Structure 1
């Protein structure tokens, strides 16, 4: 087997995934969160507005509602949760059926811009914070016993993104047949 043959059997890294040589846990967590944030946006890129706002799934959620949901997930866990910032409406606009709604009149561009802005704020919070630091009290967490570590919060966010981006894979495939990273 030639060197060319051996390298041909190694699949390329998904777009934006952290370097496999990276061993620093803080950098890996930040890198994988950014990877999933970017993947979410790539998955919705090119969908028609009716596909972004409509649903092909029995649960009834739309891809745009999922983007809004993850905006609030970031806000709840990092801004309100870890930093104990006062944030307006940390749970988002949910109807009686507990779905994340994109209010009438809010554009796709505005929804994506809000997501990007919240992700930027999350990056600021995480950039210099220690993984073993615990959430500040007074925001989401009233007691030390309830306040998780930053490492726990980041792992929780990763599982949220992994699950929801996987759901978005199915929605996108149903919408236009697109598959892959």
Structure 2
């Protein structure tokens, strides 16, 4: 079941707001792929040449780059593994189901990080960030990740409409 759009309300729980909107957009991305054939999911419909599955993989790696490698400073295997030859890439063995599962698993990890950490906490040095003066806070990282999800969910709305006429919000 698709999550309803999280209408703004009186909440001042900013971490919960970030998580609610990230969950909503993650769910929207997964829903936009649901029902596409494998060929449709792997076919570019826009001049820039990306495919829906490539975008999902990009979002998974983007979230991990910012929160696990970036904020926590944990080593991650191939942080730029969504790219090959300077463009998004998905191998023939990677399925839509596997990519959506990885996207949701990343969301679970993000939730664990946000629920355990004040938003004012700066990123750990040593992963993606090596300069003390310019490392972002968790709030800044979450804002960036949220805008990436919202922008790319809109891209998927367009691709889905081009594929079968189904529209988003």
TM-score scaled by structure 2? 0.93
The alignment status of 1:87 with 2:87, answered yes or no, reads no
* Deviations, residues 58-107 of structure 1 (Å, cap 9, x unaligned): 011011100000000111000000000110001114222x2221112122
* 1:60 aligned residue: 49
Deviation at 1:19, TM superposition (A): 6.1
Q: Name the SS for the 2:168 alignment partner.
A: coil
Structure 2 gap ranges (5+): none
**CA 1:137/1:18 → structure 2, altered by over 3 Å: closer, same or farther?**
farther
Deviation at 1:170, TM superposition (A): 0.5
* 1:99 aligned residue: 87
Q: Name the SS for the 2:76 alignment partner.
A: coil
* Greater shift in the superposed pair: 69-78 or 20-29: 20-29
Question: Cα RMSD over matched residues?
Answer: 1.5
The alignment status of 1:108 with 2:68, answered yes or no, reads no
Which is higher, the Rg of structure 1 or of structure 2? 1
* 1:137 aligned residue: 125
The runs of at least 4 aligned residues of structure 1 exceeding 4 Å deviation read none
Matches within 5 A, 1:1-181: 15-17=4-6, 20-96=9-85, 98-181=86-169
**CA 1:93/1:34 → structure 2, altered by over 3 Å: closer, same or farther?**
closer
Q: How many residues align?
A: 167
* Deviations, residues 89-147 of structure 1 (Å, cap 9, x unaligned): 01114222x22211121222221222121221111111121110000011110121121
Alignment partners' CA distance in 1, 2:11 and 2:29: 23
TM-score scaled by structure 1? 0.87
8 A Cα contact 1:18 1:31, kept in partner: no
Alignment partners' CA distance in 2, 1:33 and 1:110: 19
